[in-house]
Amino acid sequence: MTQLTQSVRLEFDGDVALIHIDNPPVNALSHHVRQGLLDGMTQAESSDASAIVVICDGRTFIAGADITEFSGPPKPPSLQAAQDAMENCSKPVIAAVHGTALGGGLEVALCAHYRVGVSSSKYGLPEVKLGLLPGAGGTQRLPRITGAARALEMMTSGEPITAEEALECGLINEIVEDLQAGAIAFARRAVAEKMPLLRIRDRNDKLADTPPSMFDEFRAGIARKTRGFLAPEYNVRCVEAAVNLDFDAGLQREQELFRDLMKGTQSKAQQYYFFAERAALKIPGLPKDTKAADVGRCGVLGAGTMGGGIAMNFANVGIPVTIVERDEDALERGLAVVRSNYERTAARGGISSDDVETRMGLISGSVDMGDFAECDLIIEAVFENMDLKKSIFEQLDQICQPGAILASNTSALDINEIASATSRPDAVIGMHFFSPANVMKMLEVVRGDETSDIAIATAMGIGRTIGKTPVLCGVCHGFVGNRMLFMRGIEAEKMILEGAAPSRVDQILFDFGLPMGPFAMSDLAGLDIGWDEATSSGSTVRELLCESGRRGQKNGSGYYTYDPTTRAATPDPEVEQIIQGFAERQGIPQRDISDQEILERCLYPMVNEGAKILSEGIAIRGSDVDVVWINGYGWPMYTGGPMFWADTVGLSDVADRIKHYASTLGGEHWSISPLIEQLVAEGGSLSTYTN
Ligand code: 3H9
C-alpha cells in the first residue's frame, strides 16, 4: 500500500491496482484528492498491474468538486490532468461507484473506460443547483453516453438517476453486489476479454439523431420552473454544443460558460444557500449527544387545510398519525381532502394507488382528544386564537404521556404563553408549517424560554425526516418569516393608497423573482383570515374589500377578479375605486411612485426587520433568515435571500435608503436597526452574521 496524499492511497489486489479515495465526509475533489488521483494513475499505469479500479471509502463515491475551494484561487493540479490520465490510460480503468457520483465525481467516473455500481448508487450532475454547470467535461461526455434528451433533463434539474436507470441508458456497465470484489472481477474480465478502452469523448452515435427543435421545446418546457435562473439556460447551451460541435470545441464552450457563471452573483448566492441550509441544522449550545424522542406515532389536532397537510407529511414517511377534529363532519371533510390530495398525486403518476391506500391507512381520525394518549408528538393546528390554544394545551397536558412533545403550528403567537397553560413548558415547542403544509419545505421551529433540548432535537430531527428544511428561532410576534412579511405589508398598503395599483406592486415583486406579490398572496390566503364582520369598521382597504364581499381567490374576487374557469387574475376598476375613495377620505395625496421606490419600500423594511430579528437573537444567523425566506415564501434563491441580497446591493447603500425613508415616511419599521449601522461601520455583512 502506498499513501499518495492525505486522502488517496494505492493498493494492489494481485494484478489489479486500486486507487482508494478517502476524503470524508463526501470524498469531494479537494486539491489533495486531485493530486492523489493523478499520482495514483501515473504509478498504477507504470506498475505491473493490468487494470486499475478507482474506488472510494466511506459513505459515497466522489460527490463533486470541493465547493469550499471555489472562493479561493485555483490550486493545482487541475482535475482535467487526472481525468486525462484516466481516459488515455493504456490499461482498463474502472470506476466503482457507491453512494452518489455527483458533479465532478460523475465527471471523473465518465473518464473511466467502464463503470460499475452497487444497486443503491446514484448518478447526477447537480451543478445547476449551485448556479453552475458541470465544468469538468461532463456537459460533453454525459450527452454522448445518455443522448441529449436525458442529459438535458439531468443537467437542468440536477436530480440524480438510480443505478437501474444508469444501467438502462448505458451510463454504467454493470450493477455489482460487492463493490470492490465486483469491480475487480469486472477489471479482470476486461483484461481477459481484451475489452476496448472506451473513451466517451470519441462517441457520437447517441447524438447523431438529435432533432434541432429539441432545444427550444425543452427551453419552453422548463421556462416557468427556472424563471430568473441563469444556470439552466447555460446547461442547455452546453448540450447544444455537444450536439453541434466536436468534443474539443464543445469542451472549450463549456469552459467559457462555466467561467461566466462562476463570476456572477447567482452562483455565489446559490453556493451560499447550499451551506446556509446545512448550517441551519446546527444549533449552538445543543449538546451533540442530545437524544431526540422517537416519534412512533404523531398526533395532529385539526383536520383543516393545515392539519390535513401536516398529517400527510408523516404518513408519507410511514409514521402513523392520529388526527382529531371537533366533530365527525369536520373530520370526514378533512380526511376527504387528504384522500383527494393523494389521489391527485397518484393521477399525475407521483405515487401508486397502493401508496394512496397505505398512506390513508396510516391516518386514523378521531373526535376524542383522549386518543392522543399514545402519541409521541402532538401538533396543534387550530385557528389562531390564544385562549383556544391555551385551553387545548391544558387538555393535552392532562392527556399526553410523559415525554411527549407538544407542538403548536401557530404562525405568530407567543409559544411561552401557550406553554404556560401546561405543567410541562419544557415539552412545548412551535412547529410552524407553511401552507400548503404537504408541499412547502419550510418549517420554523420555535423555542420557548423553557423548551428543552430534547424537544428542540425532536422537532428539528423529525422535520428532516419528513423532508422539511427546519430552522430554529425564538419567540416574537410572527417569528422570522411573518414578522418580516408584516413590515412589507405595511408599506405595500401605504403605496396603494398613494396611487400605485396593487397589480403594479405585485408585478414589480414578481419581476424581482418572488412567486407573487403581497396582494396576490392575500387573495390566495383569503382576505377574511382574521377578519370579523361584527367588528369590521372599514378602517383598512382589506376590511373594505371584505365588507364588499371580496374574500379573495376562493370567492372569485379580492384585490383582483378571478376568471371562474382559468382562475386568471385581472385588476378590477371597482377595487381601484374603493382604494381611491379610502385614500381621499384619509387625505392621502396621489403621486407617481417609481418602480425602484416600490421595490425598496417593499424589500428594505424586510431587511431592516431581519436585522432586528438577528440583533434580538430571535434568529441564530443571518443565513437562517435567508433559508426561511427562500423556502417559506419563494424568495428567489439566485439572490441568496434578503440578507445576502442586501449585502450584494451594498449594506451601506441599503442603510442610506432606510434612513431616507425613516425621515420622509416615518414609522417604527423604518427606524434603522442598530445592527445594520454597526455592520456598515465595521464592514461586516448580514448574511455572515452569527449570534
Ligand atoms: C462540481 O462538482 C463542479 C464541477 O463540475 C467542476 C469542477 C471543476 N464540497 O449534505 P450533507 C459537506 S460542483 C464541500 O449534510 P448528506 C456539507 O457541507 C459540486 N463540502 O450530507 C456537509 O458539511 P457539514 C457538485 C461538501 O449525506 C457534509 O459535507 N456536487 C460538499 O445529506 C455532509 O453533507 C454537489 O453539488 C462539496 N461538494 O448528502 C453535491 N458536499 O457536515 C453536493 C457536501 O460541515 N453535496 N459537503 O455541514 C450533496 O448533495 C450532499 O452533500 C450529498 C450527501 C448528497 C453528497
In sequence order, the 6+-apart residues with CB closer than 8 A to the CB of 571 are 501, 502, 503, 560, 561
SS3 state of residue 406 = strand
> For residue 360, with 0-12 CB atoms within 10 Å meaning exposed, 13-18 middle and 19 or more buried, which class applies?
middle
CA-133 nearest atom, ligand 1: 5
Among 34, 60, 67, which residue has the most ligand 1 atoms within 8 Å of its CB, making it the best to mutate?
Answer: 67
pLDDT class of 530 with cuts at 50, 70, 90: confident
Give the CA count within 13 Å in the CB-facing half-sphere of 568: 2
Share of the chain above pLDDT 70, in %: 100
DSSP 425: G
* C-alpha separations of 657 from 596, 604, 608, 664, 665 in Å: 11, 8, 11, 10, 11
The per-residue pLDDT for 74 is 87
End-to-end, the C-alpha distance of the chain in Å comes to 47
Instruction: Quote the mean pLDDT of the chain.
Output: 96
Backbone angles phi, psi at 93, to 5 degrees: -115, 130
Residues with CB under 6 Å of ligand 1 are 25-26, 28, 60, 63-68, 79, 100, 102-104, 107, 126-127, 130, 134-136, 138, 275, 278
Q: How far apart are the CA of 274 and the centre of ligand 1, in A?
A: 8
**Tens digits of per-residue pLDDT, 306-346?**
999 999 999 999 999 999 999 999 999 999 999 999 999 99
Distance 25 CA to ligand 1 centre (A): 8
**Residue range(s) in the chain whose domain bears CATH number 1.10.1040.50:** 500-586
Extract the C-alpha cell encoding 58. Answer: 466511506
Average pLDDT over residues 445-470: 98
Examine the pLDDT at 431 and tell me if it is beyond 90: yes
CATH 3.40.50.720 domain residues, the chain: 298-477
- Residues 6+ away with beta carbon under 8 Å from 631: 434, 440, 441, 442, 469
pLDDT, position 222: 97
> For 595-682, which CATH superfamily applies?
N-(1-d-carboxylethyl)-l-norvaline Dehydrogenase; domain 2 (1.10.1040.10)
pTM metric for this prediction: 0.94
Angle at 111 between CA 110 and CA 115, to 5 degrees: 55
* Predicted confidence (pLDDT) at residue 406 exceeds the cutoff of 90: yes
Secondary structure of residue 427 in the 3-state scheme: helix
pLDDT given for residue 72 in this prediction: 86
Dihedral of CA atoms 652, 653, 659, 663 in degrees, nearest 10, equals 160
Provide the pLDDT for residue 71: 84
pLDDT tens, 72-99? 888 999 999 999 999 999 999 999 999 9
Which atom, in ligand 1's list, is nearest to the CA of 282?
48
Radius of gyration of the chain (CA): 28
Q: Which of 234, 149, 245 is nearest to 201 (CA)?
A: 245
Q: Is the pLDDT of residue 248 over 90?
A: yes
- Give the residue-averaged pLDDT of 584-602: 96
The secondary structure of 93-159 as a DSSP string is EEEEE-SEEETHHHHHHTTSSEEEEETT-EEE-GGGGGT---TTTHHHHHHHHH-HHHHHHHHHH--
Question: Whose alpha carbon is nearest atom 15 of ligand 1?
Answer: 278
Pairing of strands 114-118, 100-102: unpaired
Give Cβ neighbours of residue 246 (< 8 Å, ≥ 6 apart): none
> What pLDDT, on the 0 to 100 scale, is given for residue 531?
87
**CATH code for residues 500-586:** 1.10.1040.50
Residue 158, pLDDT above cutoff 90: yes
Least confident of 72-76, 91-95, 157-161, 295-299: 72-76
653: burial class by Cβ within 10 Å (0-12, 13-18, 19+)? exposed
- 201-226 residue pLDDT tens: 999 999 999 999 999 999 999 999 99
Ligand 1 centroid to residue 361 C-alpha, Å: 37
C-beta neighbour count of 556 within 10 angstroms:
15
Q: Which amino acid residue places its CA nearest to atom 32 of ligand 1?
A: 278
Task: Say what the pLDDT of residue 185 is.
Answer: 98
pLDDT value for 532: 87
Distance from the alpha carbon of residue 170 to the mean position of ligand 1, in angstroms:
25
Q: 298-477 adopts what CATH topology?
A: Rossmann fold (3.40.50)
Q: Is the Cβ–Cβ distance between 685 and 622 less than 8 Å?
A: yes
Ligand 1 atom closest to Cα of residue 78: 8
Instruction: Determine the distance separating the centroid of ligand 1 and the alpha carbon of 63, expressed in angstroms.
Output: 6
Query: How far is the centre of ligand 1, averaged over its atoms, from the C-alpha of 332 (Å)?
Result: 44
Nearest CA to ligand 1 atom 43: 63
Count CB-CB contacts under 10 A for residue 198. 16
For ligand 1, atom 4, which residue shows the shortest CA distance? 104
User: What's domain 2-263's architecture?
Assistant: Alpha-Beta Complex (3.90)
Residue closest via CA to ligand 1's atom 10 equals 278
Site to substitute for ligand 1 among 7, 21, 26, most atoms within 8 A of C-beta = 26
Q: Is the peptide bond before 25 cis (omega within 30 degrees of 0)?
A: yes
Assess whether pLDDT exceeds 90 at residue 43.
yes
Q: Whose CA is nearest to atom 1 of ligand 1?
A: 65
Kindly tell me if the per-residue pLDDT of 383 is higher than 90: no
Q: CATH 1.10.1040.10 residue ranges in the chain?
A: 595-682
Report the b/e string of 562-594 with b at 16+ CB within 10 A: beeeeeebebbeebeebbeebbeeeeeeeeebe
A 10 A CB-CB count for 552 gives: 25
Cell of 418: 401557550
Q: How many CA atoms lie within 13 A of 209 on its CB side?
A: 4
- Contacts by residues 414-417 (CB-CB < 8 Å, ≥ 24 positions apart): 414/386, 414/475, 414/477, 415/446, 415/447, 415/448, 415/451, 415/475, 416/448, 416/449, 416/450, 416/475, 417/386, 417/390
The mean per-residue pLDDT over the stretch 193-203 comes to 97
pLDDT for residue 529 is more than 90: no
Which residues make up the CATH 3.90.226.10 domain(s) of the chain?
2-263
Mean pLDDT score, 452-478:
97
Sign of CA dihedral 591, 597, 603, 609: negative
